[in-house]
Amino acid sequence: MVSKLIRLGFAGIVSIGISTAAPVVLADDNAAAGAADKASDTAKSAGDSANKAANSTEDAAKNAGDKASDATKNATDKTQDAAKNAGDSTENAAKKAAGSTDDAAKAAGQKADDAYRGATRPAD
């Protein structure tokens, strides 16, 4: 009789173990677990999309910065060229004006010299 009790007790323990383990083993077929997996996949996908968007924004900002830097450099170069050209034009105009002034002074000096010589020249 004791052996029957042990055998029935052992059978009861095995039966309880199987009924307790069955939901754990079959958890993959559980609808709630499937929904949790889908939610996890969706969250991961959203995180990946957010990372892509952040990277795109960072790249766009870098490109905009590079373009602004290039535009600034081009504007600086144009300003330097314009200043150099203006300086050259001013220098050329100053040289022409100096040449004209020098010519006018020489002509005036020559006239003054001629007038002086004519005024002081003895009569023929």
Predicted confidence at residue 104, as pLDDT, reads: 85
Q: Name every residue whose Cβ is closer than 8 Å to that of residue 42 and which is 6 or more positions away in sequence.
A: none
The answer to whether residues 87 and 80 touch, using CB atoms and an 8 Å cutoff, is no
| Exposure of 78 in the CB half-sphere (CA atoms within 13 A) | 6
* pLDDT at 50 > cutoff 80: yes
Rounded to a whole number of angstroms, the CA Rg of the chain reads: 52
How far is it, in rounded angstroms, from Cα 107 to Cα 91? 24
How far is it, in rounded angstroms, from Cα 54 to Cα 46? 12
**For residue 114, what are its two tokens?**
């001629």
How far is it, in rounded angstroms, from Cα 48 to Cα 26? 31
For residue range 4-17, what is the model confidence (pLDDT) as tens digits? Answer: 667 666 666 656 65
Provide mean pLDDT across the span 71-81: 90
The more confidently predicted of residues 91 and 19 is: 91
The answer to whether residues 33 and 27 touch, using CB atoms and an 8 Å cutoff, is yes
